[in-house]
Amino acid sequence: MLKTILFSAMFACLGVFAQKPANINTASIAGKVSDHQTGKSIPFASIILYKQDSVIFNIPGDANGDFCFNGLKAGNYKIKVNYVGYSAFELKNIAVAAGQKKEVNVTLHNSVLALQEIKADDIKHREKDMVVDRKTMMGCGKVSACKTANNVAYYQPNVQEFNTEEYSKINDNEFKDALKDPLSTMSIDVDKASYSNMRRFITKGSLPPADAVRVEEFINYFSYTYPQPKGDVPFSITTEYTECSWNKKHNLIHIGIQGKEIQTTNLPANNLVFLIDVSGSMMSADKLPLLKSGLNLLVDQLRPIDKVSLVVYAGAAGIVLEPTSGDKKEKIMNAIEQLQAGGSTAGGAGIALAYKTAKENYLKDGNNRVILCTDGDFNVGASSDGELVSMIEKKREEGTFLTVLGFGTGNYKDSKMEQLADKGDGNYAYIDNILEAKKVLVKEMGGTLLTIAKDVKIQIEFNPAKVKGYRLVGYENRLLNKEDFNNDKKDAGELGAGHTVTAIYEIIPAGSYELLASVDPLKYQATGVVSKSTGQEVMTIKFRYKEPKESVSKLITEIVNDRKAPFLTSSENCIFSSAVAEFGMLLRDSKFKGDADFKTVLALAKKSKGKDDDGYRAEFIRLVEMAEMLKK
């Protein structure tokens, strides 16, 4: 069995530079971090400088292992160095006098655990994402390449000037002709990352990029009061037919799905493998420190039957906590506390090791899941989307699902993380603060970790006698071919215990003079409204889903009749979700936003706020008010 990483290190101080810094009233500390056995430099290690037990600087070294602190006051200092796969070590009582320049070289021992190493040539992939100012810092000649700021020489991503966040392009769904294209097919979506990511942008004083706004994730961030399912079906279905709030000439179909609630105490045993990114890019307070706080909240919820493992990756990948039962909370928390950021990012190696760990401790009748916690910036190792997706799809078929938790700003890779979660039959959330960590890891624990229905698909057939055109609001990356609905080999979305899923269709009623995009009439076949479709049916909705451990789907059918209600008399669920959809379209500046404006969104949200024990809807209202001011 793999052993937990043991910590050991050796530190060597090689004396004082012959030169003096330019400013004779200040001191400098510089050096290099290297491997004790091979003598090779260790790039991007985490280096923390203390004075009187207070952190002065927390920085990564550069690609050559060099670091430099300048402009220091005379006195005693302490340095602590961390790098995954090596021991953590600190040296106290580093005394420097005014005008002195001290060289402190650090050599670290490998852990007992054999880790998957990265190739030296692969360091180039990390360098391309770092801001490099090739200057010598105020006489610190040992630092070959550094960024100078606040008297510290180091490599650092410059978030303000070099934002490398990545989002997939979104093209709003167009209106379809119900006569020529009567079928709409989609996979459900329970991801919510886009909403909390939007909140991060607005609370920091800017509007999110249009492609960061996935309207369906805005809508599904909130819970709704749909009825609990009855009988053997694991979810209930609720539909409403009403007017469209942002276009008075159109109507809306509101579809709500409610997953069966399961008490946490009745959940199957969990085999949870947390795969934690501890690379240098995870140093900032909104990344690894926030993650550690969130994990501690989760530990409080663990039961004796649950098992937790911690796998980390940076320049290498290794196990820092072997599978440990949930009643050993102090041991788990101690392992979490030891996590430190430093190194480049071998994401592929980490995912492979996490799945290997999950397989070795597989629970036949339990919940087996890898939970990836990262900013998504995979720079070193097997990191191509194709390689990772292929690996995750294979493990999904073996019964191990993947949840992805995103953190941070500046180098955030939303597009990659969304894809990985989708292919891993799991959820994707963005953690922007400790309350969101509590929401995802504590409050929504059952839905996040326990799948009650998989490959859930929806197919709607619109009656052209009642519907001229239709448009699905959001879900652009969840559309399926019509043939996929009956194909049980086609992957689709998963529904967790207690989760709700909401979808909205915007309808152009039959008889409207509004023009739709069209093609030439067909030459070899006739199209038209058949006589039986002239009844009161607006549409037929079909649902397919599989039990979590089954490979054959089950079918449910619902019919929506022409009993349209005035919008303001519809349910709070319908009104509030419509307000959220309008807000998303405003942020995207969608060409389909119609008459939507912030004042209407605010009025509708306040009217339908309803019971709001956790304050999420009140927070939404504040975000709308802030966005309106930012827009101006």
Q: pLDDT tens digits for 23-68?
A: 567 888 888 888 888 888 877 677 888 888 777 776 767 767 888 8
Q: What is the dihedral of CA 41, 44, 46, 52, to 10 degrees?
A: 80
The DSSP line for 467-480 is EEEEEE-S-GGGB-
Phi, psi dihedrals of residue 556, rounded to the nearest 5°: -125, 140
| Digit-coded pLDDT (tens) for 463-519 | 999 999 999 999 999 999 999 999 998 988 888 888 899 999 999 999 888 888 777
| Predicted local distance difference test score (pLDDT) of residue 147 | 40
Q: Does residue 609 fall inside a structural domain?
A: no
Q: 498 and 570 share a domain?
A: yes
pLDDT, mean over the chain: 80
Q: 213 and 295 share a domain?
A: no
Whether pLDDT at 200 is above 70: yes
What residues have CB less than 8 Å from 571, skipping those under 6 apart? 240
| Predicted local distance difference test score (pLDDT) of residue 18 | 32
| Predicted local distance difference test score (pLDDT) of residue 231 | 85
Out of 100-114, 269-283, 417-431, 469-483, the most confident range is 469-483
Burial of 206 (0-12, 13-18, 19+ CB in 10 A): exposed
Between residues 122 and 398, the one the model is more confident about: 398
Task: Give the chain's domain count.
Answer: 3
| Digit-coded pLDDT (tens) for 434-471 | 999 888 888 877 666 778 888 999 999 999 999 999 99
Q: Structural domain of residue 132, as residue ranges?
A: 9-154
Q: 320 and 444 share a domain?
A: yes
| Predicted local distance difference test score (pLDDT) of residue 460 | 96
CATH number for position 590: 2.60.40.10
DSSP 388: H
| Predicted local distance difference test score (pLDDT) of residue 66 | 86
The CA angle 120-126-131, to the nearest 5 degrees, is 130
CATH number for position 137: 2.60.40.1120
| Digit-coded pLDDT (tens) for 4-29 | 333 333 333 333 333 344 456 788 88
pLDDT > 90 fraction of the chain, expressed in percent and rounded: 36
What residues have CB less than 8 Å from 409, skipping those under 6 apart? 159, 165, 200, 204, 284, 286
Distances in Å between the Cα of 313 and the Cα atoms of 274, 359, 374, 410 are 11, 18, 10, 20
3-state secondary structure at position 277: strand
| Rounded Cα distance, 580 and 225, in Å | 16
Nearest alpha carbon to residue 350 among 334, 323, 373, 369:
373
Contact 316, 344 (CB under 8 A): no
Confidence of residue 164 (pLDDT cuts 50, 70, 90): confident
The CA angle 232-236-241, to the nearest 5 degrees, is 150
The CA angle 297-276-161, to the nearest 5 degrees, is 105
Q: 242 and 309 share a domain?
A: no
Confidence of residue 317 (pLDDT cuts 50, 70, 90): low
Q: 211 and 298 share a domain?
A: no
Q: 211 and 328 share a domain?
A: no
Confidence of residue 340 (pLDDT cuts 50, 70, 90): confident
Strands 428-430 and 401-406: parallel
Whether pLDDT at 86 is above 80: no
Confidence of residue 544 (pLDDT cuts 50, 70, 90): very high
Q: 552 and 504 share a domain?
A: yes
Q: Does residue 283 fall inside a structural domain?
A: yes
| Predicted local distance difference test score (pLDDT) of residue 384 | 56
Burial of 153 (0-12, 13-18, 19+ CB in 10 A): buried
Q: Does residue 79 fall inside a structural domain?
A: yes
Helix (H) or strand (E) holding 389: helix 385-397
Q: 22 and 147 share a domain?
A: yes
Out of 68-72, 112-116, 170-174, the most confident range is 170-174
Q: Does residue 616 fall inside a structural domain?
A: no
Q: 268 and 244 share a domain?
A: no
The length of the chain in residues reads 632
Q: What is the pTM of this model?
A: 0.75
Distances in Å between the Cα of 515 and the Cα atoms of 50, 191, 343, 510, 518 are 69, 34, 57, 12, 9
| Predicted local distance difference test score (pLDDT) of residue 348 | 60
Q: 310 and 426 share a domain?
A: yes
Q: Does residue 1 fall inside a structural domain?
A: no
